[in-house]
Structure 1
């Protein structure tokens, strides 16, 4: 974000900041709850893949 100066509009906004904005500034609780669940599942899935790959490398 610092390198692009924030980008045009909200193009470079982080998902976590966008989630906070939707929940606490726009009061879209249903949308932000679904957003949080999807974000959690995505991060958890990527972390699981990373840990499995790390364990395979470690076992060699």
Structure 2
């Protein structure tokens, strides 16, 4: 059971790290490696709350059909 739990934490850390880098909140993984999972979750939530609802993150994207 402990191995499954560790794997889940590792996968969640990787997902949050990738998203924060993708959205230019942080420049690289090196700046995030010392943060705990709780701190990464907090950074993610702060970013989502401060993002404008019509930004490219999670918003509806219109496509022009000619």
TM-score above 0.5: no
State the TM-score bracket (shorter-chain normalisation). Answer: 0.3 to 0.5
Greater helix content: 1
The higher-RCO structure (CA 8 Å, 6+ apart) is 2
Bigger Cα Rg: 1
